[in-house]
Amino acid sequence: MLNLRDRIKQNGIIITDGATGTMLQKAGLPMGVSSERWVLENPDAVIALHRAYIEAGSDAILTNTFGGTRIKLNKIQWGDKAPEINQTAARLARQAAGDQVFVIGDIGPCSRMLEPLGDLSYNEAVAAFKEQAQSLIAGEVDAILIETMSDLNEAKAAIEGSQKVLHQLPLIVTMSFDTHGRTMMGVKPKQAVKEFLALGVDVVGANCGRSLDENLQAIQEIRETAPDAILWAKPNAGLPKVSGEDVIYDVTPQIMAEYAHKFAAFGVKFLGGCCGSTPDHIRAIKQALQSM
């Protein structure tokens, strides 16, 4: 049986997968429709995407649950389906992964502002994140990833909720640093990594953002702040541009491959792609790192 903690101790970078939402849209998911719906409505498409990334070289794949908190799903009147969606998504990923690829349960922001800036209480957020993590773990994930966080308080709520049910599974937390080296809520990489490691998080890093350079700068700051930290990097394939009826991201697989060496130089342990990235991007990253 695969054990992610053991794998982390070994040499070599763990290649994760790429974008989910933009890839499912290419497979027919209508714009504006939550990708989590396809966990129940079109599971074959979700499994096919997982398999495409595995064939491209992913050592770990993420569940299709980025917007899977009860709070986020309430926006489409699917809140009560949150446990079913998350557990099913984990089992779909596990079906695709078999016993050779890790499955990481994906948790994103709950899409409501916490008090005092918003109307969502900290305890409500903790409960929602706990429910999602518990459902993902019931579906047999190998780790929990909390990603694309901007609000440090929301990230802490997700950490607290997840830690209530982890039972020794690794916990990974990343923020999106895309506004002058900070998150949209003003959090700097140095501040985030200190807070997360103090809370017992196993892996920290950066994802999404506007550019590869900005993600690289965030990773550099995290590394300088915490020389022994285990790092995760998952940058976007650049920024989206509209071309006719298509949305095109400006970072090619070749560019992503060139940056793979730069992320590796900072000792990143997990490397993949976020919005706009495809199996071709992951294949290019895999080939670039194998040549090192």
Q: Residue 246: pLDDT band by 50, 70, 90 thresholds?
A: confident
Amino acid at 286: K
**Residue 1: what pLDDT?**
64
- Tell me the whole-structure pTM to 2 decimals: 0.97
More confident residue, 42 or 240: 42
pLDDT at 291 over 80: no
Identify the pLDDT of residue 238: 84
Q: Which CATH architecture has domain 4-290?
A: Alpha-Beta Barrel (3.20)
Pick left, alpha or beta for residue 209 (phi over 0 → left; psi -120 to 50 → alpha; otherwise beta): left
Strands (E), 171-245: 171-175, 203-208, 230-235, 240-243
Q: 49: which 2 tokens?
A: 């995407």
Q: Which amino acid would we find at residue 279?
A: P
Query: In degrees, to the nearest 5, what angle opens at C-alpha 91 toward C-alphas 85 and 92?
Result: 85
pLDDT of amino acid 114? 97
pLDDT of the residue at 241:
80
In the chain, % of residues over pLDDT 70? 99
Give me the pLDDT at residue 78, please. 98
Does 223 score more than 70 pLDDT? yes
- What is the Cα–Cα distance from 220 to 203, expressed in whole angstroms? 15
Place of tokens 């700097």: 188
Q: Is the pLDDT of residue 239 over 90?
A: no
262-276 pLDDT, tens per residue? 999 999 999 999 999
pLDDT value at position 245? 67
Question: How many Cα neighbours within 13 Å face the side chain of 20?
Answer: 24
Assess contact for 106 and 148: CB atoms under 8 A.
Answer: no
The predicted-structure confidence for 130-179, as pLDDT tens digits, reads as follows: 999 999 999 999 999 999 999 999 999 999 999 999 999 999 999 999 87
| 8 Å CB contact between 250 and 239 | yes
> Which residues are CB-neighbours of 6 under 8 A, at least 6 positions away?
none
SS3 state of residue 283 = helix
Given a cut of 80, whether residue 125 has pLDDT beyond it is: yes
> Domain segments of the chain: what residues?
4-290
| Average of per-residue pLDDT across 105-120 | 96
pLDDT tens digit sequence for 19-72: 999 999 999 999 899 999 999 999 999 999 999 999 999 999 999 999 999 999
Mean pLDDT of the chain: 96
Backbone φ, ψ for residue 131 (5° rounding): -60, -45
